[in-house]
Structure 1
Amino acid sequence: MTMRSLGLSIYPDHSNFEDNARYLELGHKYGFSRIFMSMLEVQGSLAETQAKYKKIIKYGNQLGYQTFLDVSPQLFDQLNISYSDLKFFAETGAAGIRLDQAFDGATEAMLSFNPYGLIIELNMSNDVDYLNNIISYQANTPFIYGCHNFYPQRGTALPYDFFLKCSQRFKKFGIHTAAFVSSQTGKIGPWNVEDGLPTLEEDRDLPIDVQAMHLFASNMIDDVIIGNAYASETELKALAKVNRYQLMLHVDYVKDISDIEKTIVEETQHFRRGDMTQAVIRSTIPRVTYKDITNTPHDNNEEFQRGDIVIGNDNFGIYKNELQIILQPHKEPRKNKIGSIQADELFLLDFIKPWTKFKLTSKWQKNNYP
């Protein structure tokens, strides 16, 4: 698996250097390492454009970022740049260029052999045989990346099933991938409509960390990028806390949770039992690890609802201290309710398949940052 990272977006033609530099410093503080930078709407001459972009990219490079410039065929025409020579982009200090629109396959393959070592990033948000065509022209695949679009207009971003089909085309070849989440505070994007900038429509109004959890849980995306600028420090902190390699869901505890129950929740490497049931997600290791520790009944007479976390109590025999996440409502007095998955994360339960590894932690830890 490719190592996963976090990124943010800069729009030099809609902002100033000082604000962008402060934003990059803040992102660096929280472990961000990638910049998406739009060049779709440049103003000024070739020299002016290069100087403006070079200044902020150089600053990002000093902080350890990799910058990808979003470009289109119109930009090549506007700045009189040839596809056969990417020197202009290399001299900005960028790590790569993202081709917002497709060429003919042979062109992209040739671009991947550019002498500057620039990564060629392709638009992933099309369910067509685009990538296969490029690969068939013997592309330099280590220098081919993929990145989804973002969608400023409400109601126009991708549905999840379509996103999955598009992404699978890239993952089949082991291509490094990226997609966008949307800040709820950012107001800057490439265009004069900005209803948020997510890749997935269902993510548009979710907390930014839950959006990232969704993309990482798909196992289709390596880099999660904030599409709009500027995200708040609270949002950057929240993204920094996201576990990029397994779901870490947040639990709102009941008042009477015991110490052993809290230990079972937070200190176990959970995985869903392989012979799954539709009623619950079973994490059975705790019943072995903590089989000799008592667990007094409490909060055990209500009907449990989807997303409730329960642990077997002293009356449950061999199943004492087994942890379960409720999928279908039922009553069972031999189980203690110890908390519930945070409401906006409930849909992520669908990503916990047989043998899926996952972590649980307290809602308090999510909302209180050091």
Structure 2
Amino acid sequence: MEKVMLGVSLYPEQEVLEEIDAYLKMASSYGFKKVFTSMFSVSGTKEEVIAYFKDFTKIVHKYGMVVSGDCNSELFHRLGATETDLSVFKEIGVDILRMDFSFNDERDATLINNKEGIKIEMSTSFIEIIEAAIKNGAKPENISTCHNFYPERYTAPSLEAINEINNYWKAKNIPVAIFISSLVKGSHGPWPVSDGLPTIEEHRDMPIEEQLKHCLALDNVDEIIIGNAYASEDEFKAIDQVMKQVYVDVPKNEAFGFLADFIPHGMIKRVPFKIQLEEGITELEKEILFNYPTHSDLGDCMNYMLRSRWTRMIYKGKEIPCRPCTKTHYTRGDVVIVNDNLAHYRGEIQIVLKDMKVDGQRNLLGRIDESEIFILEHIKAKDVFTFVE
């Protein structure tokens, strides 16, 4: 399983190389591999632009990262580049060109198949343009896509529209990059606007680790890039913690015999839910909740709940006495465990999706953090999830 690539953004006309070096040193230490930068916003002569970005890409490559340079037709003209000659970008050290434009004819295929070996990244919205380029002989393996970011509040498209286009490119096996946003006050993008740089409007004021979890739960993005600069080290630490919770290597449990093949194992991608525990939860209940590494629903009855069924086999024979609950109904986001009053299913962990009457057959373990309950909308059959206190 390939992990999602993490990236940061830099806007050189507003930053000095010493700051860039320090920032990329920190970002790379937390597993970030890509740098998005705007090339056409840097002023100067052709020689000055080339010299500047040579110094910039040296720093990026020093930390084992790749450079995606956002460019437009005016920059092509300034640097003397054409669809048949990208040598100036090769000289600069750019690994990927994010095209803020297209030729909208057979030249797009020529650009994508460039002899310099530079990958071409286009807007996710360029569906007809990319499809036409492929029909004209463009190699799909040379193409990736990237969403826009939206500095102006309330201008980002709907989540439904973003999800639809992500799924379209996933079906074509063409990578998709998306932007999330730092909440650091005064962080900047290419323009003097300080309302963040997300792709999804609902992310604009959300802690960065929750934005990340949401993008991972969508399961249709390949790269997640922080759109504004500079993110804080606390934000990098939060992202790093989530990534360590998401990607785990789980050994095959041979104790299950022939069923072992059906239980998630190997390198696993999980959705980690923060959970607020109920008072009175027992140590055994905590063990079942937190120690089992691959909770998932088989997908045949995802109506009132998500059911993690394997735990009832592992803990078969253990007693889970009924605990009283003050609620009349369990509500969406509650996490429960089947108790001794329904012994055949005892030990099964469930996440409530719809109101369920409290009938004494389940103990309340806790509740998913209110800020993360919306992620339940994106959990599909056999998706793996885990819990973090």
For residues 143-222 of structure 1, the aligned pairs below 5 Å read: 143-185=142-184, 187-222=187-222
Paired residue type of 1:275: D
Q: 2:315 is matched with which residue?
A: 290
**Aligned with residue 369 of structure 2, among 317, 342, 346:** 342
Q: Is 1:83 aligned to residue 83 of structure 2?
A: yes
User: Is this contact kept in 2: 1:310–1:335, CA < 8 A?
Assistant: yes
| TM-align CA RMSD | 1.7
Paired residue type of 2:128: D
Deviation, structure 1 residue 147: 0.8
Runs of 5+ in structure 2 lacking a partner?
Answer: 248-268
Q: 2:285 is matched with which residue?
A: 261
Deviation, structure 1 residue 125: 3.5
SS of 2:330's partner is coil
Q: Is 1:279 aligned to residue 278 of structure 2?
A: no
CA distance in 1, matches of 2:361, 2:169: 47
Paired residue type of 1:98: R
CA distance in 1, matches of 2:211, 2:199: 10
User: Is this contact kept in 2: 1:76–1:83, CA < 8 A?
Assistant: no
User: Is this contact kept in 2: 1:300–1:332, CA < 8 A?
Assistant: no
CA distance in 2, matches of 1:42, 1:10: 12
Deviation, structure 1 residue 299: 4.9
SS of 1:354's partner is coil
User: Is this contact kept in 2: 1:265–1:361, CA < 8 A?
Assistant: no
For residues 31-70 of structure 1, the aligned pairs below 5 Å read: 31-70=31-70
Q: Is 1:310 aligned to residue 336 of structure 2?
A: yes
SS of 1:241's partner is helix
Deviation, structure 1 residue 2: 4.8
**Aligned with residue 333 of structure 1, among 350, 360, 366:** 360
Q: Is 1:246 aligned to residue 263 of structure 2?
A: no
User: Is this contact kept in 2: 1:299–1:338, CA < 8 A?
Assistant: no
User: Is this contact kept in 2: 1:182–1:228, CA < 8 A?
Assistant: yes
Please give the per-residue CA displacement for 1:201-224, whole angstroms capped at 9, x wherever unaligned.
121111111112222222221010
User: Is this contact kept in 2: 1:85–1:114, CA < 8 A?
Assistant: yes
For residues 221-240 of structure 1, the aligned pairs below 5 Å read: 221-240=221-240
User: Is this contact kept in 2: 1:183–1:231, CA < 8 A?
Assistant: yes
Aligned residues: 361
Name the CA shift for 1:124/1:299 in 2 (closer, same or farther; >3 Å). Answer: farther
User: Is this contact kept in 2: 1:180–1:197, CA < 8 A?
Assistant: yes
CA distance in 2, matches of 1:231, 1:299: 45
Name the CA shift for 1:17/1:329 in 2 (closer, same or farther; >3 Å). Answer: same
Paired residue type of 2:304: A
User: Is this contact kept in 1: 2:153–2:195, CA < 8 A?
Assistant: yes
Q: 1:367 is matched with which residue?
A: none
User: Is this contact kept in 2: 1:178–1:224, CA < 8 A?
Assistant: yes
CA distance in 1, matches of 2:122, 2:2: 17
User: Is this contact kept in 2: 1:131–1:170, CA < 8 A?
Assistant: no
Deviation, structure 1 residue 321: 1.1
Q: 1:319 is matched with which residue?
A: 345
Q: Please say which of residues 109-118 and 290-299 is displaced more in the overlay.
A: 290-299
TM-score, L = length of structure 1: 0.93
Please give the per-residue CA displacement for 1:328-369, whole angstroms capped at 9, x wherever unaligned.
22323221111111111111101122322222222xxxxxxx
Q: Please say which of residues 104-113 and 286-295 is displaced more in the overlay.
A: 104-113
Name the CA shift for 1:63/1:143 in 2 (closer, same or farther; >3 Å). Answer: same
Deviation, structure 1 residue 180: 0.4
Q: 2:124 is matched with which residue?
A: 124
CA distance in 1, matches of 2:217, 2:372: 12
Deviation, structure 1 residue 107: 2.1
Please give the per-residue CA displacement for 1:260-289, whole angstroms capped at 9, x wherever unaligned.
212211222111132214211111111111
Q: 1:10 is matched with which residue?
A: 10
Q: Please say which of residues 336-345 and 105-114 is displaced more in the overlay.
A: 105-114
Paired residue type of 1:260: L
